[in-house]
Chains A and B, each alone.
Chain A
Amino acid sequence: LAKTTQPISMDSYEGQEVNITCSHNNIATNDYITWYQQFPSQGPRFIIQGYKTKVTNEVASLFIPADRKSSTLSLPRVSLSDTAVYYCLVGDIRNAGNMLTFGGGTRLMVKP
Chain B
Amino acid sequence: NAGVTQTPKFRILKIGQSMTLQCTQDMNHNYMYWYRQDPGMGLKLIYYSVGAGITDKGEVPNGYNVSRSTTEDFPLRLELAAPSQTSVYFCASSYDYTEAFFGQGTRLTVV
A residues adjacent to B (C-beta < 8 A): 32, 41-46, 49, 87, 91, 93, 96-97, 99-105
Contact = CB atoms under 8 A, between A and B. Distances in A.
A97 B100 contact: no
Q: Which of B35, B92, B100 has the most CB of A within 10 A?
A: B100
Nearest to B47: A97
Interface of B: 4, 31, 33, 35, 41-45, 48, 50, 56-59, 90, 92, 94, 96-105
A96 B105 contact: no
B100 A46 contact: yes
A41 B37 CA distance: 10
A43 B48 CA distance: 16
Given A32-B97, A46-B100, A97-B48, A102 B56 contact: no
B46 to A, nearest CB: 11
The SS class assigned to the A binding surface is loop
A96 B58 CA distance: 10
A97 B58 contact: yes
Given A43-B104, A49-B98, A101-B59, 5 more contacts: A32-B97, A44-B102, A96-B48, A97-B48, A102-B42
A102 B97 contact: no
Contacts of A97: 45, 48, 56-58
Given A32-B97, A45-B102, A96 B42 contact: no
A42 B105 contact: yes
Given A43-B103, A96-B31, A102 B44 contact: yes
B45 to A, nearest CB: 7
Contacts of B94: 100
A95 to B, nearest CB: 9
B42 A104 contact: yes
A43 B25 CA distance: 14
Nearest to B88: A41
A46 B99 contact: yes
Contacts of B97: 32, 91, 93, 96, 99
